[in-house]
Chains A and B, each alone.
Chain A
Amino acid sequence: MCDCNCHQNYNLDTLVPMVGIVTDIRQETPDVKTFRVNAPEGGKLFEHKPGQCAMVSVPGVGEAMFSITSSPTNKEYQEFSIKKCGVLTDYLHDLQVGDEIMVRGPYGNNFPVDTELKGKNLLFVAGGIGLAPLRSVINYVLDNRDDYGTVDIVYGSRSADDLVQLKEIQEVWMKAKDTNVYLTIDRPQEGWDGHVGFVPSYLNELDLKTDKTVLVCGPPIMIKFVLGALTEMGFSKEQAYTTLELRMKCGVGKCGRCNIGSKYVCKDGPVFRCDEVDELPNEY
């Protein structure tokens, strides 16, 4: 018998989750719901920074990494916008308000809101559910409005029904000071009088000034074409940030899944500056 008591001083391991309560569910689109999560005793489970992620799990069903879509400036709760596309997300979409889930985190780095982004004019470019991580930054910026320059948000989705957070976009973002929101959908649709076309070509049409720092998130193929469009417009790779998404199990850079080059997306990412992404092996 070892007579030391060192083991009694351990906190719980980072792999062990906390219980969270689903306190609100919003149907955003036919296949995206936003879940509001609180600690059982009320308040937030933990503090996070814009762009960070958390592991959400249901015992016996599965566990996966989701970006925290609410801003840290929200002191009451955290939110996850989750698209129904697999075993775990199917189950999550069947949850009711009051149900319990398990959450551990926060994991990963964050968009550099307190350093590189401060004082800058910001351009957010999002596609579909890719708005989720950027929404955290957008609301953080709008809640600390004087710390940043102009805000332009270009957001596109397959159809008008697939735009997430539409209510907040219309009621908050579109009315915010020095903030322009540009929405687009892939194909014409009855009742839609806004822009029609893919996000990269819309960016080209908008011909925005290059005095901005860009934050991009969306499907990998969209990110690729957006970066191409930005380069054409005269933006440099050093001006743009994006997030990567790979399979993850541990969230702390040890299980090996999200390893790409000498980086672990869960720990060294998910946020990368686009010139850093270029240095990674082409395997994401």
Chain B
Amino acid sequence: MVKIKKENLNELYKLISAEKSLFVPAKKAGQTNYALYGAETEVDLDTLKTVKSAKELFFPQSETLYNVKTVDNKYSVTQAELQNEEFVAFGVRGCDIKGIEVLDKVFLSEPVDTFYKARREHGVIVALSCNEPEESCFCTVFGVDPADAKGDVTATFSGDYLYMKANTEKGEKLLADCASLLEAADESEIADEKAKIAEILGKLPYANLSLEGWHGGATEEKFNSALWEELYKPCLACGTCTFVCPTCQCYDIKDYKTADGIQKYRCWDSCMYSDFTMMAHGNNRTSQMQRFRQRFMHKLVYFPANNNGMYSCVGCGRCVDKCPASTNIIKVIKAFSKEGK
């Protein structure tokens, strides 16, 4: 384990960013999101949750897939370049790392999404422990330890220092490259901080949320439950929950017309939208109740059924914080547990 004084962190950012692209949580116009580090960047490691999760570093909100040039009505297709340079994602919280594990199941399963895979292979993740988990956090329910987030490097603030420990070869290399700024430390120096975090976690309102009954079983019973008709009612179909979610991966593929052809790009989409499943011969989810139900059934039933019980929710609580109608996955889980189902 190594450590660096908080006041020297800027030197660390400069050192890393001199060699490769460094993405950090940065404050801009009052909001904190991941941004490419530069001289003007206002790094913000105090805000617990970036508005958009770290998924955008591996599965961007919008990305070009290929370009088509049209000359004399003949097409020529060129695939967009894959990520081929190493980059560092700094300050990724445990929930978002779990979110990337969920995305791995989707994008790295056959047929592999090469755009995503190239980013995963070239990304070095520096995880950051959460010193003060917030009221809307419930990551422990999904097996995340926010005091020991597992990236290539695990970083933890304690006292005047940021402590770092490599978990992978990539992580070891990154720390070795920064050795000039780091001093040796011992695991025992963060023991008190970890105990403090554990104490906060025990007091969080959703710490004891029970997932009993959800795990890929009883599909039909849940699907046909009368509860959905009540639960969906506040939903405005704005899609905010899907955009801030670290695991939502539904996407659209669209055309952008250029001077001599088109650019085919993919962008985040949302199962909350009425035209998501619409096609020429009809729409298999015509009501918002059906779309609302689909989102939660997918996260809590369908996805676990396909992935050895792994849920497609990581308990980050962003949907809890951001839903304008104050409806969220916690209400869904609780409603079903009250029913005893």
**What residues of chain A have their CB less than 8 Å away from a CB belonging to chain B?**
1-2, 6-7, 10-19, 59-64, 85-86, 89, 99-100, 102, 219-220, 245-247, 249-250, 252-262, 281-284
Contact = CB atoms under 8 A, between A and B. Distances in A.
A169 to B, nearest CB: 24
B304 to A, nearest CB: 9
A257 B252 CA distance: 9
Given A2-B84, A254-B107, A16 B79 contact: yes
13 contacts: A1-B86, A16-B77, A102-B68, A245-B279, A247-B284, A249-B252, A252-B113, A253-B109, A255-B251, A255-B252, A256-B269, A259-B294, A259-B302
B85 A254 contact: no
A167 B86 CA distance: 59
Interface residues of B, number: 61
Interface in B297-313: 297-298, 301-303, 305-306
Given A10-B118, A250-B251, A254-B249, A2 B73 contact: no
Contacts of B86: 1-2
B269 A13 contact: no
Contacts of A85: 280-281
Nearest to A283: B284
Interface of B: 65-66, 68, 70, 73-77, 79, 82-86, 106-107, 109, 111, 113-115, 118, 121-122, 216, 219-220, 223, 249-253, 255, 257, 261-262, 264, 266, 269, 271, 276-285, 290, 294, 297-298, 301-303, 305-306
B111 A252 contact: yes
Contact of A261 (B79, B111, B219, B271): B219
Contact of A6 (B79, B121, B220): B121
Nearest to B275: A247
A13 B113 contact: yes
A247 B262 contact: no
Decide if the interface of chain B is mainly helix, strand, loop or mixed: mixed
Contact of B114 (A10, A19, A220, A262): A10
Closest 8 CB pairs of A and B: A256-B250, A86-B280, A262-B305, A59-B68, A85-B280, A7-B84, A59-B262, A247-B279
Decide if the interface of chain A is mainly helix, strand, loop or mixed: loop
A59 B70 contact: yes
A13 B79 contact: yes
A100 B75 contact: yes
Contacts of B305: 262
B251 A247 contact: no
B253 A249 contact: yes
B274 to A, nearest CB: 12
Contacts of A18: 77
Contacts of A249: 251-253, 269
Contacts of A260: 284
Given A10-B82, A256-B250, A16 B66 contact: yes
B82 A7 contact: yes
Given A59-B68, A255-B269, A257-B276, A281 B252 contact: no
A99 B66 contact: no
B109 to A, nearest CB: 8
A261 B77 contact: no
A14 B220 CA distance: 33
A100 B253 contact: no
Given A257-B277, A281-B219, A250 B253 contact: yes
A93 B79 CA distance: 28
Contacts of B76: 19
Contacts of A258: 277
Given A2-B84, A15-B253, A59-B262, A254 B113 contact: yes
B276 A247 contact: yes
Contacts of A1: 85-86
A19 B77 contact: yes
B317 to A, nearest CB: 22
B223 A281 contact: yes
A17 B298 contact: no
B113 to A, nearest CB: 6
Nearest to A249: B253
A159 B74 CA distance: 38
Contacts of B77: 16-19, 102
Contacts of B282: 220
Contact of A13 (B114, B276, B278): B114
A11 B113 CA distance: 11
A61 B261 CA distance: 11
Contacts of B303: 262
Contacts of B107: 254
A247 B277 contact: yes
